[in-house]
Structure 1
């Protein structure tokens, strides 16, 4: 987290590393994990000697000849200290306090945090520099967060998940088990299969929403959700009726469990968790959902279809799972309109994902970025393509057969292997080469173990690999290797062939 100072980061990383393996670590080994210098880590460990287990014993064991260790069974205790380290940071204490506690004035927060006026102003400025991407701010005059309520909730879900993790629960007035039970009932009604690894973050999502509603911070919209029933098909009317019944059921569940009454806007916002789940089964089939979108948002439906048509032009092939892709992109559009999606809700995606797409699917990447650039001024899809990284991630994750289409566009190389030790040895070299070559390489040998221009032309050979000097290279690139190729030689061959393909 950007708000954590370097010392706190080192302490957290030391704790996480020590408890990750049941072993003794040397100072140099800890330093080699890019935590910090040996001197800094040694100083940190001296200060961390006061950390204790629940039984009052030292949490961190330090022995001169053995090194440093934490028993791997102390994971929960390590989480406790990580929480304490985080909450000792002024910026995190302020954000946490503004969210959970009653309203306090600027000067009351100065007393609570025991800091000066200028330090508090600097702290707020540092926090707001992080909040720019959420388009919200912490204002000194009110000491409250201002901006789009959906963005504020999204920020707190991410903030609390990073500070408290999955094992610690920050809410005193909302029981985690109540949140788990509620979500399980909700997803059972929706017939949604939620991954176990995602439940903790969805519990935070629900708890943040309930907490904000209780503090009278609610979702506001400039438009209404409605439909002209006279113009809808019987199937669309049936789906609409299901949603109405679902709304009544979910709102009653929320009132019974948490004592909170959800209005229409809060209900719709709550159901935005559905597109974030990924592949799921729900009360409607893909066709029914598409029909619902087509009935209610015909212009958006056509715009997404047009976008997929452009995707298909990249490889001049139909998207194999076009209907599913259409539905996923429609749901992503709705989700991105509600929340400025940065790196996904469930798991933060690193920029490395995009760099790997660029490296391993270069043709697709160049074409999709061109399409996205052209759509940034589109009346309907401008907001849809705003977050390029997340959109590319969704498309690559859900386009069935994308890798094969990319590979089919690459140049296939044909190489001819010949050895002075005979045909069988040529086959041996060819088999060794196959172990280390990319898939778009065809390897040929000849039972006659001879070279001639006619054979090279007929087979379309691009390169000759041999263990002897050739009197005539036949106008082809030639690579000389040992009779039993070394790993270095095979790696060199692999690099040359990859360069030729790209």
Structure 2
């Protein structure tokens, strides 16, 4: 959906994606080649981004190293993407058509201050982007439609969540009542939805009610959920709640609107082609969790296991309904998984490998399409994952040395112990520095920390600190220690099998 942005803004989004996705410097040559523009344009776009969103980020440039982005600790870069979407004429038109379908071109030209040619161009861009998601937009009059109404509802649910999130509410419906209904449905049907999924359900309810009010009902009801809606009495208990939410709209809902509502909302838990398919997905999900657990030799609580199994089931059901990209411009999972991939290298590799095997077995894009999302959700749902994975890493053996003597070396050791605790196993020089030269050739440590360069030690494992370690010293040590502890020889052996 990035194509809905103006060409210049689309280019800047691509640039922002590349800079935000890297932890180091990126050359302007690489950026220019990736985005297919000149280096001059790259520099101008960097200046534009920094000038406009200086509260969110800083872009540093270096002739030697290239370009890098530094984000503000007080603002989320996610808000930049939201602002970009909200300022896009094409996205504004698409959203407006959702709320006011069946309006003629003249209406939109007047309301959005567009010329006839601009409206025609924007609608062409929107139609092209929607086509990739099996959705269409008619222009005589303007409205969004498709072969599967549920796909349209799902698409707009994803759109509104990305643009408005939990803090804003774009609908003329009672937010509190909708969230209360979402929680009741979750509890009644044991859906085990987490907070983000509750939000998704709430938005789905709002979008469904609005589409029904506009007369867009689900026509094709061939899968088993149809019989579920017709025969399940419990679902009827929610009709009063839904009617109360829809009451402020002051409209007469079409016939069979409530069956349509249930048919749309309950698809993820009941919309299976057959019961055996659901059983197989749950079985494969259980095996996936067991494989990851055994490969890492870490424990998992029963609630965490159940939650992850439900996640896999949920992803499978969502993909059956909507096998397309779920985001418009900002892939939140991509950036959150970036940190997981950096800090949980072995966990990431094991999950990636397991999903790759499962993808081939089930012929389903578990790794190709959902790796980032599964990493993100597993990190949340696997209780104490950070502690468990940290405990499986070995302690770095560290020898502390000082040319000011063993008393000073003891001081350095106490500073390291206070900052790194069980991450390191500390040894301290036992003799006075002036009594003999330090010979480390016969000793084997992972790291040597000293306030001087040790000639008999490879400089790559000799970290030199100030007499009283500075903040930078400790930061550099932390990066080094954490990186060395991420991958062990036994882990490499497993990953290569």
Alignment TM class, shorter chain as reference = 0.5 to 0.7
User: In 1, distance between residues paired with 2:268 and 2:418?
Assistant: 45
> Helix, strand or coil: the match of 1:390?
helix
Q: Deviations over 1:406-443 (max 9, x none)?
A: 33454532011133444432221112334555862222
Q: Is the 8 A contact 1:419 1:468 kept in 2?
A: yes
User: In 2, distance between residues paired with 1:189 and 1:125?
Assistant: 39
Structure 1 residues 290-369: aligned runs within 5 Å: 297-321=278-302, 322-340=305-323, 349=332, 351-369=334-352
Match of 1:181 among 177, 182, 195: 177
Q: Is the 8 A contact 1:415 1:442 kept in 2?
A: yes
> Helix, strand or coil: the match of 1:300?
helix
Structure 1 residues 347-426: aligned runs within 5 Å: 349=332, 351-379=334-362, 381-382=364-365, 386-426=369-409
Equivalent residue number for residue 222 of structure 2: 222
TM-score by length of 1: 0.62
Unaligned ranges ≥5, structure 2: 11-46, 55-81, 247-251, 487-497
Q: Is the 8 A contact 1:414 1:442 kept in 2?
A: yes
Match of 2:52 among 35, 56, 60: 35
> Helix, strand or coil: the match of 1:426?
helix
C-alpha displacement of 1:454: 11
Deviates more, 1:299-308 or 1:94-103: 94-103
Structure 1 residues 67-466: aligned runs within 5 Å: 90-105=89-104, 118-131=117-130, 134-140=133-139, 143-147=142-146, 148-160=148-160, 176-177=173-174, 180-181=176-177, 183-185=179-181, 187-188=183-184, 190-191=186-187, 204-219=203-218, 220-225=220-225, 244-255=232-243, 258=246, 260=253, 261-264=256-259, 266-271=261-266, 297-321=278-302, 322-340=305-323, 349=332, 351-379=334-362, 381-382=364-365, 386-434=369-417, 437=420, 440-445=423-428, 461-466=445-450
Q: Deviations over 1:301-342 (max 9, x none)?
A: 222222223322431445333233323332343344334585
Q: Deviations over 1:448-467 (max 9, x none)?
A: 5689989975xx63333334
Quick one: structure 1 residues 455 and 337, their matched pair in 2 at CA, closer, same or farther if it must change by over 3 Å? same
User: In 2, distance between residues paired with 1:489 and 1:110?
Assistant: 61
Equivalent residue number for residue 43 of structure 1: none
Q: Is the 8 A contact 2:441 2:456 kept in 1?
A: no
User: In 2, distance between residues paired with 1:407 and 1:396?
Assistant: 13
User: In 1, distance between residues paired with 2:196 and 2:87?
Assistant: 28
Quick one: structure 1 residues 344 and 394, their matched pair in 2 at CA, closer, same or farther if it must change by over 3 Å? farther
Unaligned ranges ≥5, structure 1: 10-29, 38-81, 228-239, 276-292
> Helix, strand or coil: the match of 1:34?
helix
User: In 2, distance between residues paired with 1:137 and 1:365?
Assistant: 38
User: In 2, distance between residues paired with 1:142 and 1:477?
Assistant: 70
Greater relative CO (CA pairs within 8 A, separation 6+): 2
User: In 1, distance between residues paired with 2:95 and 2:445?
Assistant: 67
Q: Is the 8 A contact 2:173 2:245 kept in 1?
A: no
> Helix, strand or coil: the match of 2:216?
coil
User: In 1, distance between residues paired with 2:379 and 2:439?
Assistant: 43
C-alpha displacement of 1:108: 6.8
> Helix, strand or coil: the match of 1:400?
coil
User: In 1, distance between residues paired with 2:392 and 2:483?
Assistant: 15
Quick one: structure 1 residues 298 and 399, their matched pair in 2 at CA, closer, same or farther if it must change by over 3 Å? same
Q: Is the 8 A contact 2:379 2:385 kept in 1?
A: yes
> Helix, strand or coil: the match of 1:376?
helix
Q: Deviations over 1:74-108 (max 9, x none)?
A: xxxxxxxx99x998964345324422335245577
Q: Is the 8 A contact 1:385 1:391 kept in 2?
A: no
Structure 1 residues 40-59: aligned runs within 5 Å: none
Q: Is the 8 A contact 1:325 1:398 kept in 2?
A: yes
Q: Deviations over 1:197-245 (max 9, x none)?
A: 9988765432321121123322334311389xxxxxxxxxxxx99x934
